[in-house]
Structure 1
Amino acid sequence: MALSDLIQQSWKTLRTAFKTLLDLNRTFEALVARINQGSSLPHRDPTHSYWLENPPFPDLVNIQSEKLPAQRDVVIIGSGITGAAVARSLLQESQRKNQNITITVLEARDICSGATGRNGGHIKASPHETFERLRAKFGVERAVALTRFQLHHLECLTDLCQREDFQQAECRVVETVDLFFDQKTFDDVCRTASELKTLVPEHEGSIYQAAEAQKKFAVSDQIVGAYSYKAGALWPYRLVTSVWSELLHEYPGQITIETNTPVLTVDEEGTSDHPRNMYTDRGVISCKHLVHATNAYMGHLLPNLNKKATGLRAHMSAQNPGQYSYQGFHGDRSWSLIYGPDDFDYMTQRPSSDGTGDIMLGGGAFRSKNNAIDQIGIWDDSRTDAITSAHLAGILPVVFSHKEKEGEKGNRSRYLQQHWSGIISLTGDSLPFVGKLDPRITARGSGKSSKNSSEWISAGYNGEGMVFAWLCGTALGIMIMGSEQDDIPASPGFPGGKLDEWFPQELLLDSKRYDRLDILDLADQL
């Protein structure tokens, strides 16, 4: 080879490397620009979620009062699982204390049309994947407390649905199975799971090495191991609308729900009793307490949080299993497909008598063009990413092995029914924001507010809303009522006792935590 050929080849290599660095820099700059721009209002025409079909309470879908109330004690922005938990907690606690309280819920779109109406339907805490991160940040004792808080959601939500007879929510305990493609990730999980047997003994799991896992769960030889444990599954939208229906029936006159009423701005120009004004396209409503239960959209009305948290467009699909019976577990099993650290898909199956219930499969975040970076800082759920959706449509035959091939005569082929997107929230330290907001965060609070009025938040669930949101919202209701030190009796969906006995203080968004947070630190969490 001539010297000129070597030089030319070296130049091509350098040029390719330089171009790669430039492309990475442009990708990063675009990401930072999106994050800094911050959240918008929810898109008026989102992709259609399977969960929103055939609503059990059609009158709630776009419920509105004839006229927007002028004043309320509490205004909750957001009608998903957090808003429902906050409202239920407030109303039950006010009843216990013989205090009358009025609440209005403001929702930008149809009822429960945000993340709760778009997620995977999993009540699944995975401490064997998150415990090491929590221990490194908070120490063993607090990592155990945070883990137990997440695990407790399974009991709370299944107990709530059973005792309140929310049958349409399809809430149930399942055996969940994590299937691993990567040996190192599986080995790390095995080590952590072994340690958790002592630290969190209630989290019981079983480990299966490659050959045993492939045989037991009828999966392909690409699976290097499996870990099974207890989790839950449900129809989230139907749980939440069941709660709203119950509250409207039990507390007439105390609560109204105003769908398709986006809050445009908030100021502090009301009265001394109701200092905060929410301006909507239907008029103005004033309140003593304002609750931000908007998850990823929190930055719209709290712009100071835009550099502390951001949005991520996630993807879900509904698939008819066709000939696939998924071992005939009839909705009693769920799965996660683990490709590597923080890279996974998640899957549940709706209950059925013959094992052919619809498959609900989500994930695929790292399959997008820029390995999920192009989906961060996005609040538009009116579109889906084509590559991610293609991955979700095609992954199941790769994972699950079957004696009969799809498409053979007499077989019903599996097919994609629907695919949609939803916006989840990412926070700088990967934990939710809960509690009373400092005026420095709201940029309000120096005018007519008194110590008896304030703004509150429960948001930022990092894709784990079903094992954070219900009890975070419930705890926030207790805080607003000033009942933190009360020993409150247990009830359906409520653990009982004093707040600090079950609610981790690490989730409170105090000034010290706020100052430490930077959304760009999220890279250190991954």
Structure 2
Amino acid sequence: MAFAQAHLSNLSVPAAERQQALNRIHADPGVPKDATTSSFWLKEPHPQFAQKSSNSLPSEADVVIIGSGVTGASIARTLLQNRAKGSNSHPAVVMLEARDICSGATGRNGGHILETADEYAEFADMFGEAAARKILRFRLAHLREILGVAEEMGLTETAQTRKVQFLSAFFCDEEWKAAKERLGRFKEGMPEESKEWVAYEKDSIPEKIKLSRAAGVIAGPAGALWPYKFVTGVLSRLVSDYPSDFRVEDNTAVRAIQRGKGQGHEYTIETSRGTIHARHVIHCTNAHVGHLVPGLRGRIFPVRGQMSAQNPGEKFPLQATKHSWLFNYDRGFDYLTQLPSGQMMLGGGFARSESLGCADLGVPTDNEMSLAIDIHLSGALSAVFGRESWGRVQGEPIQAMWTGNMGFSADGLPWVGQLPGSVTHRTPDKNKPNVGAEWVCAAFCGEGMVQAWLSGKALATMLLKKDGQSGMDLSWFPEQLLVTEERIATAVLPQTVHDLPVQRQANL
């Protein structure tokens, strides 16, 4: 059962509260609001993007990308590196951001490149073994891809990109048993890819990893990074390498999109700073995509998550380049990385929030926090690692606490591809089928670091192919993530809780 359905059908939560969440999911998410919580990741603005845009907005472009997170950065890089030369539009690619650059979900996430492979069994049951292997290879490839891009662009040290071993700890015997079964299916179905995965029963958990309270631990390859510094580093390099072809415009909220009013360009994009005409428009707004693409409401929707930056206990050894963590409880989970400077970047607590998480479904703002999650995150680390192993915290325990909006989908998969008029409500000109298009790359369901970068690369490749670029391979991209009319018709949440299946357990 997909994430939202499991929460919305939980009979432990009053029907009225679940209905309120469902109403938010089907509502217009709007544009990101100026008022926000302060993300630790954003405390050191990139010098190139620290000042608000002062230059006039370009009047036209080949492609307008709405959103400046990891998805938009990947799309821009792929387009600029592969586009055919000779376009009359300069700049060729313009990126628009409603607030500061990379201040949305990417600048607020966990900085965790984590694929546990838990989903392999679920994908195999849904789509078959071959499709499950393809989806997992796509997700697993992000670790190698992101670390490789960081090295290629000289960002490894700046963005603190590093490979680690994840430790997925289970504190409930029943959940541990189910996890071992999922791991067994993954190893059987993908023996080569799963070689680095190991399981530790309670009595065999190494003492040095400080998880003696767990029922069991699964370990495997993962990565960690400073997401804001990675994305702004990529964008800064692209601006430098393509000064005539790439512009990044912050504090430029898109208010409306119209079709067929440009001179030689199919789209007119009305923004808070003026109007720009473009051949292609790409929606990388994730949780906010339903604002400009109304037909995706109820199919893609916001979910508010909460993160913290904490000082470690004095007895806890520095493991920033060795490990990252996932803590699985009888209800819900937390995720953790450690910076080389020692800070513990802990997020999660969703199922501990008001209405067992329903209060955060459909919430498109990041200017408030859950008191219940704050309490949970503030005390979780000394409990899971053990107070004797954790020790006293020197200085202020909590350095920062903030929220962010993730984009989730009704079927639990990203949406990547060209948008039809049935969802944009902007009817294509049948006499001009190849003029341009609207595209979407969104709904990474809280797992953007193992889905967004290569989804962006795939989306840019689709656009280039539509524009006649040859030799662009997409055989590696899972078809289940594509935008189709069939998916539009079926992958949508109902309007009322009475039309949802019943979920009596609260193990979410």
TM-score (norm 2): 0.90
SS at match of 1:311: strand
Gap change, CA 1:136 and 1:195, over 3 Å in 2:
closer
SS at match of 1:179: strand
Gap change, CA 1:344 and 1:420, over 3 Å in 2:
same
2:131 corresponds to:
142
Per-residue Cα deviation, 1:105-134 (whole angstroms, up to 9, x for no partner): 11000000000000000001111x211221
SS at match of 1:304: helix
Quick check: 1:38–1:377 contact (8 Å CA) kept in 2? no
Q: 1 CA distance for matches of 2:458 and 2:501? A: 29
Per-residue Cα deviation, 1:452-507 (whole angstroms, up to 9, x for no partner): 2110010000000000100000111111111798546xxxxxxxxx211x111111
Please report how far the alpha carbon of residue 413 of structure 1 lies from its aligned counterpart in structure 2 after TM superposition: 5.7
SS at match of 1:155: helix
2:380 corresponds to:
395
2:39 corresponds to:
49
Q: 1 CA distance for matches of 2:61 and 2:390? A: 60
Please report how far the alpha carbon of residue 402 of structure 1 lies from its aligned counterpart in structure 2 after TM superposition: 5.0
Match status 1:92 vs 2:74? no
2:359 corresponds to:
374
Please report how far the alpha carbon of residue 519 of structure 1 lies from its aligned counterpart in structure 2 after TM superposition: 2.8
Please report how far the alpha carbon of residue 381 of structure 1 lies from its aligned counterpart in structure 2 after TM superposition: 0.2
Match status 1:511 vs 2:460? no
Q: 2 CA distance for matches of 1:209 and 1:522? A: 37
Gap change, CA 1:22 and 1:189, over 3 Å in 2:
closer
2:102 corresponds to:
112
Gap change, CA 1:274 and 1:98, over 3 Å in 2:
closer
Return 5+ residue gaps in structure 2 as ranges.
Answer: 1-9
Gap change, CA 1:176 and 1:277, over 3 Å in 2:
same
Please report how far the alpha carbon of residue 158 of structure 1 lies from its aligned counterpart in structure 2 after TM superposition: 0.6
2:218 corresponds to:
227
Write the letter of the residue equivalent to 2:424: T
Gap change, CA 1:383 and 1:522, over 3 Å in 2:
farther
Please report how far the alpha carbon of residue 82 of structure 1 lies from its aligned counterpart in structure 2 after TM superposition: 0.6
1:209 corresponds to:
201
SS at match of 2:31: coil
Per-residue Cα deviation, 1:272-327 (whole angstroms, up to 9, x for no partner): 621211111211111100000111110010111112121111000000114143x4
Q: 2 CA distance for matches of 1:427 and 1:262? A: 23
Please report how far the alpha carbon of residue 46 of structure 1 lies from its aligned counterpart in structure 2 after TM superposition: 0.9
Please report how far the alpha carbon of residue 37 of structure 1 lies from its aligned counterpart in structure 2 after TM superposition: 1.7
1:423 corresponds to:
405
Please report how far the alpha carbon of residue 159 of structure 1 lies from its aligned counterpart in structure 2 after TM superposition: 1.0
Match status 1:218 vs 2:210? yes
SS at match of 1:168: coil
Please report how far the alpha carbon of residue 405 of structure 1 lies from its aligned counterpart in structure 2 after TM superposition: 6.9
Q: How does 1:144-293 map to 2 (within 5 A)?
A: 144-166=133-155, 167-200=157-190, 201-203=192-194, 204-213=196-205, 215-221=207-213, 223-271=214-262, 273-293=264-284
Per-residue Cα deviation, 1:327-364 (whole angstroms, up to 9, x for no partner): 442432100000147x2100000014xxxx10000000
Quick check: 1:321–1:413 contact (8 Å CA) kept in 2? no
Q: 2 CA distance for matches of 1:247 and 1:21? A: 50
Gap change, CA 1:246 and 1:523, over 3 Å in 2:
farther
Quick check: 1:42–1:380 contact (8 Å CA) kept in 2? yes
SS at match of 2:14: helix
1:298 corresponds to:
289
Gap change, CA 1:73 and 1:330, over 3 Å in 2:
closer
Gap change, CA 1:522 and 1:412, over 3 Å in 2:
farther
Between the two proteins, the alignment pairs up a number of residues equal to 483
Moved more, 275-284 or 459-468: 275-284
Please report how far the alpha carbon of residue 264 of structure 1 lies from its aligned counterpart in structure 2 after TM superposition: 0.8
Please report how far the alpha carbon of residue 162 of structure 1 lies from its aligned counterpart in structure 2 after TM superposition: 1.4
Gap change, CA 1:387 and 1:197, over 3 Å in 2:
same
Please report how far the alpha carbon of residue 89 of structure 1 lies from its aligned counterpart in structure 2 after TM superposition: 0.5
Gap change, CA 1:36 and 1:208, over 3 Å in 2:
same
Quick check: 1:220–1:398 contact (8 Å CA) kept in 2? no
2:368 corresponds, among 374, 380, 383, to 383
2:425 corresponds to:
443
TM-score (norm 1): 0.87
Please report how far the alpha carbon of residue 219 of structure 1 lies from its aligned counterpart in structure 2 after TM superposition: 2.5
Q: 1 CA distance for matches of 2:390 and 2:55? A: 57
Quick check: 1:406–1:412 contact (8 Å CA) kept in 2? no
Per-residue Cα deviation, 1:74-119 (whole angstroms, up to 9, x for no partner): 000000001111111101111xx43446011110000000000000
Q: 2 CA distance for matches of 1:189 and 1:406? A: 30
2:5 corresponds to:
none
Q: 2 CA distance for matches of 1:183 and 1:21? A: 24
Moved more, 467-476 or 189-198: 189-198
Q: 1 CA distance for matches of 2:458 and 2:41? A: 27
Q: 1 CA distance for matches of 2:375 and 2:391? A: 18
2:453 corresponds to:
470
Q: How does 1:68-79 map to 2 (within 5 A)?
A: 68-79=57-68
1:311 corresponds to:
302
SS at match of 1:241: helix
Gap change, CA 1:379 and 1:215, over 3 Å in 2:
same
Per-residue Cα deviation, 1:155-207 (whole angstroms, up to 9, x for no partner): 00111111221021111100110010111211111122122223222122111
The structure with the larger Rg is 1
SS at match of 2:252: coil
Write the letter of the residue equivalent to 2:205: A
Quick check: 1:322–1:413 contact (8 Å CA) kept in 2? no
Per-residue Cα deviation, 1:408-443 (whole angstroms, up to 9, x for no partner): xxx736701000000001101100000111111111
1:64 corresponds to:
53
Quick check: 2:170–2:328 contact (8 Å CA) kept in 1? yes
SS at match of 2:165: strand
Quick check: 1:63–1:259 contact (8 Å CA) kept in 2? yes
Write the letter of the residue equivalent to 2:399: Q
Q: Percent identity?
A: 36
Match status 1:123 vs 2:113? yes
Quick check: 2:121–2:186 contact (8 Å CA) kept in 1? no
Gap change, CA 1:209 and 1:522, over 3 Å in 2:
farther
Q: 2 CA distance for matches of 1:524 and 1:122? A: 33
Quick check: 2:67–2:285 contact (8 Å CA) kept in 1? yes
**Structural RMSD (CA):** 2.3
